[in-house]
Each structure stands twice: as structure tokens, then as C-alpha cells.
Amino acid sequence: MAKTPSFTCTACGATHTKWSGRCDACGDWNTIVEDAGLSAGGKKSLGANRGSAIQLTDLQTEESPPPRTHSGIDELDRVLGGGLVPASALLVGGDPGIGKSTLLLQAAAEFARAGVKTIYVSGEEATAQVRMRAKRLGLSDAPVQLAAETNLRNILTTLEAEKPGLAIIDSIQTMWSDTVDSAPGSVSQVRSAAHELTTFAKRKGVSVILVGHVTKDGQIAGPRVVEHMVDTVLYFEGERGHQFRILRAVKNRFGPADEIGVFEMTGRGLEQVTNPSALFLSERGKPSAGSVVFAGIEGTRPVLVELQALVAPSPHSQPRRTVVGWDGGRLAMILAVLEARCGIPFAGLDVYLNVAGGMKISEPAADLAVAAALLSAREDAALPEGAVVFGEISLSGALRPAPQTENRLKEAQKLGFTTALAPSGGKAIETSGIKVQQMHDLTSFVGEVFGAG
């Protein structure tokens, strides 16, 4: 029985049962091509006669895992889960110019100085340009081998002959395989190159780091299957106007996900920040209306950041809701709860919310801090000096305790804060030097802090 042909869009990766000029998923024209099956060249299907038996083991087999390799950059090792695992594949994504190549060149130099044979393959720059950047960063003496190549076959041949401990491919979108009939950067080429490099890493015991470009939505360009192939996916985040850079692990098979490493962009490259809370709050002056300090958790690390809110009368029929560094949908939920449960309307008012320092927050424990910032801006009343806020708000107006409360309070105490506004019902915390003021719902919080409910 003849196999039904399958067609794939080279722009977005959507599959179709028949060819058409325009992709229904992404709307691009002339991007749909027919997929060639693995057994397209043969008449027989795969079966027991076509292959060989594979070796099986059980869970009781004890194999000592190879030790991790430390880069010497503590923030990078933290995000990796304690160091680089041999035979692992990593994917690093980020906006253009955010510092991906700079970070990986510094990491390559540190790994090479630690005795790991390192090869840096650039598909976007010539070797002279990479040397120029290394000289500016003070890394010229590092024993890193450089190459400028985009042909995947030549790269794999070189890696197999050199047998390095670490190979950095910058970037996966510039690689092309001569077995795929499409342009570099297409879905087929990215998927094929990532599969070949990941397979090579597992087979030869080489750690491979892939650099990935991102789309305007912040997702790594190419098929989503690339993130499933690799062991670790890291995103390099930051705002162009700020010197802070956040390296965040969104997937890690060898360590905790959502772990972050904080760096500061300087003229000498990226410098690690050992105390990000102090850095994020360094530019904060005296308490003002709309300014609230949130005690958050990023991965396993407590981080204190400043939330800034501005509430002003709107000249438009549709008030604006602008959010930077937080979820806009969650802001709409907080505004609805404040109006429905506390009787505090925001109709006819523009609302602006910003997370200072270019930080991005995703945990629900920031709900109470956002509500406090909105109320502070609306009433033009500053919160007490030395106070931090955290807690989750439910649709009923009840406050839910946040996880790792003790770590949040210890970080706040270390930076000189004396009061914490948190939900009640959580684990009893006895921390010397900091007063915990607990509330069970949003109405009591509004009444105790702002004097109205």
C-alpha cells in the first residue's frame, strides 16, 4: 500500500496532507514542501531483518556518572546545575546583541583554561573577528580553537578528528546540511543540524552548546522539536537600556529549571553578580507612591526587586494597561479582584506597571506586591519604609501563602528590611530582626495598610 505523502511548512513547521501555495498556520506563501520519509529509497518497510539488536540494561546497573566540569563562572555553573555535564547538548537563545556570543566566548575561555579542549565554531563571524572580540575581552591567551564554517558535514568531520571536550556552535540557524534541500535557517535545516549535533554529542561524549536566534515573540526560531532534542535550554534575557542580563534555565535535565544567573554588561564583557538583590535595589531611593519591593524566588535563589506602578486619569475612552516584566493577563485579574472584592474601581484610569532593572517575573507570589503598588499609586500613599511584600491572590480575594517563605524573609533581612507583608496560614516563621505582618484576605490587607476596605 502506497504511503500517503506528507507536506511541511518550512517557515513554521506545520504539517499538511496536500500541497498548497499558502500555509494555513502562518500565512506564508511558497513555503510548503514534501517530506521525504526515512525509507523512501527502499521498497520494504523497516523490520527485525533490517537492523541489529541493541544492548539493554536495568535500573540496578550501577554506573558512576562522569564528573561535571566547572567553568569558573559561578553564575553559569549555578544555571547549569553545578557545572557542565559531559555528552550533553545545550541550547542558548536570546535577542540579537544581548550578549550570547560574548558569554559563550568567555565560558569557552574559562573551560579551556580549566583543561577542557574547546572548539568555537562561528557561522556568523570570521575567525579574525572572533579574535578581535577575544582581545577586547582580555581572552587572547586562552587555548581555544576557532573555526568559521557553516557546512555541517565539515564541522562534524573536524570534531570527530579533534575529539574536543566542548564544542560551541554559533549559531544553529546558520548551519546547513547537504542532505536537506532547503536554505540555511529553514525548519528542515535547523531540525536536521540540531539532530546531527545532538546525536554526535551523545555518541562521542562531547558537550555541545548551540546558539539559537529568537523570533519577535521571544521564542527560539525554528521548530519547537529542537528544544525537546537538547538536554538544557537557556534563555539570555535583558533590556537594551539596562546593564543587567539574566541567564535563565527553562529546561534542564541535570538541574533545577527556572534557575537564574545574573550578569552585568561592562566594557570588559559580562561580569557575574553575586548579590542580585542589592544590585536591583541599588538605584531605589526613598519610598514613594507606587513603589513596592517584592521578595521573589527565581529557581532556588531569593531575589528582591522593585515593582513600580503609575495610575493616572485617562484621556481616552479605553484606558491603557501597560505592563513591562510581568504578565498583562494577571494584571487584569488583579484589577478585577480589587474592584469586585474591595470596591476599588480603576475605570477611567490608565495603569502602568514596571519591574525595575529589566527583570521578568512569572511567579504568582507577586500578586500581592502588584496590588500594593497599584493601591499605593492610586491613593498616592507610600508603603512603610523597610517593608517587603509577597503573596498570591485568589479570585475570591483570599491570600494564599507563598512557597519558600523563610528564604524570602532571610534575603529581606540581609538587605536591611524590617517588615514583611505576607498572607497568613503559611508556615510559622520566627526570624529575628524582621516583623511579619500577616493578613488572610485582600480586604484586610487594604484596610490595615491603606486604612480603607
Alpha helices in 310-441 (DSSP H): 328-342, 367-379, 405-414
- Do the annotations mark residue 291 as ligand-binding? no
3-state SS of 95-113? CCCCCHHHHHHHHHHHHHH
- Do the annotations mark residue 95 as ligand-binding? yes
Q: Inter-axis angle of helices 367-379 and 442-450, to 10 degrees? A: 40
Phi, psi of 392 (to 5 degrees): -100, 140
- Among 382, 383, 434, smallest CA distance to 411 is for 434
- Residue 228 near residue 198 (C-beta atoms within 8 A): no
d(CA 234, CA 213): 12
d(CA 149, CA 162): 15
Count CB atoms within 10 A of the CB of residue 63. Answer: 6
- Residue 175 near residue 150 (C-beta atoms within 8 A): yes
In three-state secondary structure terms, 4 is coil
- Do the annotations mark residue 21 as ligand-binding? no
Phi, psi of 439 (to 5 degrees): -130, 145
Task: Identify the sign of the CA torsion 318, 324, 327, 332.
Answer: negative
d(CA 116, CA 72): 12
d(CA 197, CA 166): 12
**21 CB burial (10 A radius; 0-12, 13-18, 19+):** exposed
Sorted by sequence, the CB contacts under 8 Å of residue 425 that are 6+ apart come out as 400, 401, 438, 440
- Do the annotations mark residue 169 as ligand-binding? no
Chain mean position to CA 371: 26
Which 8-state DSSP code applies to residue 140? T
Task: Identify the sign of the CA torsion 17, 19, 20, 26.
Answer: positive
- Do the annotations mark residue 72 as ligand-binding? no
Q: Beta strands 349-355 and 419-423: pairing type? A: unpaired
Given 3-state DSSP classes, what are the helix, strand and coil percentages for the chain, each rounded to the nearest 5? 30, 25, 45
d(CA 101, CA 366): 33
- Do the annotations mark residue 424 as ligand-binding? no
Known binding-site residue numbers:
94-101
Known binding-site residue numbers for ATP:
94-101
